[in-house]
A and B are shown apart, each in its own frame.
Chain A
Amino acid sequence: MNTIPVEAGLMLAGILFVLGTISVLVRRNIIFMLISVEIMLNAAGLAFIVAGSRWVQPDGQVMFIFILTMAAAEVSVGLALILQIYHQLKTLDSDAANKMKG
């Protein structure tokens, strides 16, 4: 069976993570920021899967399921917040939500 080398998998995870980070930094639209965070989470999940298959351990996949669950929860809260922000501010610009200096 052709196996993908670990290095390639990790490289892909790294690139995805960096891309996600950069787009969180660059984007102002709050929905895109949320999507970028999802990309970062998935990058981390990919790294777990690769590592799990490298050592032939189920732990990697277990961790990925954890991350998936957490991401679902996070997105539901995040989307609720975004809806509220949009209601209040009539915009999706994250910089506009700095009134509370928080």
Chain B
Amino acid sequence: MKELLWLIPTLPFTGALLLILLGRKLPRFAVSLIGAGSVGLAALITILVGIDFNSSSENSFQQIVWTWIDVAGLKPQIAFHLDALSLVFIFVITFVGFLIHVYSTEFMQDDEGYARFFTYLNLFVGSMLILVLADNLVLLYFGWEGVGLCSYLLIGFWYLDEKNGYAARKAFIITRIGDTAMAIGLFMLFKAFGTLHIQDILTQAPQTWTVGSEEAVFIAFLLLGGAVGKSAQLPLQTWLPDAMAGPSPVSALIHAATMVTAGVYLISRMHIVFELAPLAQMWVGIIGALTLLLAGFSALTQFDLKRILAYSTISQIGYMFLALGVGAWSAAIFHFMIHAFFKALLFLAAGAIIHLLHHEHDIFKMGGLKNKLPTIYWTFLIGSASLAAIPFITGGFYSKDAILWLSLAGEKGNVGFFLAALIGAFITSVYTFRMVFVTFFGTEKTHVSHSAGSRMTIPLIVLAALSTFAGFIELPHSIAHVELFSNFLHPVLPTITLQEGAESKEWIVQLIAVVVSLGGVYLAYYFYIKKPELPDQLKTSSIAFHNFWFLGWGFDTAYDTLFVKPFVFVATINKQDIIDRLYDELVKLADFLHRVFAWTQSGILRWYMVGIVVGAILIVTLSLLVGS
């Protein structure tokens, strides 16, 4: 069954190809069948491959499809590498991807670009699968750029609105900055090892470099640059909130569940390089900690439902980076998986709400939806509980608790990381339940036209179940000894070593985490249910702070002044293109000579004769002079 691996990325690509060629002519039913069906089949094959992989004793499986290029030692192949890490990723991508495709068939049913939407979505799933299955970095980069392209296309899906086009370009350009760093990193890796085959690099790296060697640190930082751009971490996080201009299923699939976690995948895939570069790894943690705090505070002030979720995505990926930074590899991947479930759920539910309320994004204009949309309310509540890490019953609790604990007790963890994660956890539950209380409780402010159909609600219910029960495969030691997930990942990602004597304190950390997340919920309850006038008072009394956070800590403004404006200024000066002046002069000279010679062509025969005679005399004289 493992031999079917190549079909997993091929199926969505085939779907995309079919839709490109026939999409306009096919009826909507056929488009949905191709679009969702191809991903569904890929999900089925993933399960078959996964079962086969689990039952075999080997830790990895290699499948070479063909050789892509073979020149001067660079021999990237279209080859897939399946191990526990990529299996987790392809499982999440195909499964969540399939649910989102099903959801989209109803969400997009009145859209003109129905076939176009599914084309892009299939193309995206295919590229993402290539990214995580690639056995060499060139193919990985191919997938990496492919998902970037699809992200661009889908953010600007409703391209008639100029703002959407702007958001799409912004996302594309900012991620390109990171991608350039990553490309340079790949060049350096090739120079160092003469190969870009991931497994070869991972085996050779510890022999070539000592821990902390300059080259390793430099390369790790460049790879981190790529990861930071794609995963919307500080300082390249500004594109993600604007990326919400795309349709909601896109936000759920690309900008929450899969593509933005490509950075997490890259770092954990190259974890040996990062372990050899402790400085870079520490910075992964620092960036994660800072990002989760900054994005969390920004999420507190947003009123657009999707922007709250966007900032919370940035913040949650910050948690994953923090976990990577302290070397808690499997905790990061665990949080990735749970996050993919509950964040996709939240985005889909939010999309459904926005859809049913005639494109109303402002949560303060919603209110009282609890009784109107019970299915969406309950699933959204489950997703929110998972995001806020409500203890014991949600998946989010177990995944986030692991990160909190390891950021303190892990070998590379420290109190600073722990405090950042803890404050982040508190803010997370405040803004999450602010969102829940404002949207679903209180009085109804916008009329709901109809209720969501089954193709929208079933994916929500499945995801709600997943985001709850998926957490139980990895329980903390203090509760029970279940380590299915980290044992599964163990062949690929090393288990983290704890600081000495830390183990006994685990339950204290958990207790703090429980108190913090419940405290956040209570604070949100107090502010938005009990005393609804309080938030406004607070807002007016600290309007400067509010605006600062609301605009995402002024990063956009800063980048605008630092980069965009000077660039536009220079471009305006150089509108006439200074270098072009030289060529303009050449053109003028040619034009002048043309006029002179055109004048000599008078049509008077005797002038020509004079020309010939003078020329002949000159040549004869010259040859006489030079010859003698």
Contact = CB atoms under 8 A, between A and B. Distances in A.
The answer to whether A and B come from one shared complex is yes
Interface of A: 21, 24-25, 28, 33, 94-95, 97-102
Contacts of A33: 605
Interface stretch (B99-107, B238-246, B596-604): B596-604
Contacts of B603: 97-102
5 contacts: A28-B606, A95-B605, A98-B603, A98-B605, A100-B603
A21 B610 CA distance: 9
Contacts of A97: 603, 605
A101 B602 CA distance: 5
B30 interface: no
Nearest to B601: A101
Interface of B: 601-606, 609-610, 613
A47 to B, nearest CB: 15
B577 to A, nearest CB: 37
Contacts of B606: 24-25, 28, 94-95
Given A25-B613, A95-B605, 13 more contacts: A21-B613, A24-B606, A24-B609, A25-B606, A33-B605, A95-B604, A95-B606, A97-B603, A98-B602, A101-B601, A101-B603, A102-B601, A102-B603
Q: Which of A95, A97, A99 has the most CB of B within 10 A?
A: A95
Contacts of B609: 21, 24-25
B613 A98 contact: no
A102 B604 CA distance: 8
Contacts of B602: 98, 101
Contacts, number: 29
A34 to B, nearest CB: 11
By Cβ-Cβ distance, the 4 closest A-B pairs, closest first, are A98-B603, A101-B603, A94-B605, A98-B604
A25 B606 CA distance: 5
Contacts of B610: 25
Nearest to A36: B609
A42 B604 CA distance: 25
A15 to B, nearest CB: 16
A36 to B, nearest CB: 10
B303 to A, nearest CB: 77
Contacts of A100: 603
Contacts of B601: 101-102
Nearest to A26: B606
B268 to A, nearest CB: 78
Contacts of A101: 601-603
A94 B610 CA distance: 14
Nearest to B608: A102
A101 B606 CA distance: 13
Contacts of B604: 94-95, 98
A76 B606 CA distance: 21
Contacts of A25: 606, 609-610, 613
Nearest to A37: B609
A28 B605 CA distance: 9
